[in-house]
Chain A
Amino acid sequence: MFSRRPDWQRKNGALPVMITLDGMPVEAFEGDSVAAAILCVEPSYTRLTPVRGSRRAPYCMMGICFECLMEIDGVPNRQACMVQVHDGMAVRRQLHEPSFAIEEDKNHAHD
């Protein structure tokens, strides 16, 4: 969804970091929020809704809308817009597939 402006600089630099989204490597920069990093991936959705299974993505980017709830480093329901990336961070989309069958890894994406 976006590229970095050539004029933009952070005071403390912006080292590249590598995170994973559902196991897939994604490049980001130190200081980015996880939500911003996800917006650079296609398709850029953060979760599926629990009721209808619709794709959602960040709406407000400031902690109000809760659309960016993701599992980050094993902890679910974290607001991705409020968490800064670090090298090696593991991010997973929450799919909330309702099911009565107990299957392995049911809550994670399969691709």
Chain B
Amino acid sequence: MFPYLHRTLSCGFIRVSLLTLFGLFSVSSPIPAAMITGTVDLGPEPRMPRLHGRYAQHAGGEPGPRPPRVAVVYLEGVFSPHPVAPAGDGPILEQEGLQFRPALLPIMVGTTVSFPNLDETYHNVFSYSKAKAFDLGRYLDEEKIPRVTFEEPGVVSVFCEIHNHMRATILVLDSPHFVTTDTSGSFRLEGLPAGEFTLVGWVNERRVFRRRVSLEVEDELEVDLNPKSDEG
């Protein structure tokens, strides 16, 4: 029976079905989970310095609207079972209107991200980050959508070589519990296990807030992440 089972499980279709069942099963019979809500202080908008000469020409030239500033809130700690990234198509970091969307993408370690080009013009997506350095070269939308799998946790800064202003950050996290705040900084983190963890609010590389939290089952905490409450 086992050999057959193995073969059956290898089949993709079976795999998906099983996952769906599992997911349904999860939804239909919820495990008691904690929840944290709160707000992250996003900080002031960056001020542009006075530019003149040829530098001034670049400053204002941003075609699409800038993506809104948000933060990522995640739970840091030791989780059991060890978190595994979902297989298959992962999140997408698309290029549209000469901007990356979303500008801040939290993913779990092992996730594969797709980078579709929805613009009429070439983009050249790359990153020099130590966590994952990649260079997708120039491509247009009708070509095969490039994918990158991120196996190391860390901050990955994504640039477009052709368009100076396009920026995105991929937060590769060791934790499955993460959420992106809204533009005002409010978040709602659900399905959290009980235990001792650190709640991290990540705005940018220089603006990270940490708070230790102790979660009980069915806890509903409200935690604000800002410079004052930051525990470093």
Are A and B part of the same complex? no
Interface residues of A (CB under 8 A from B): none
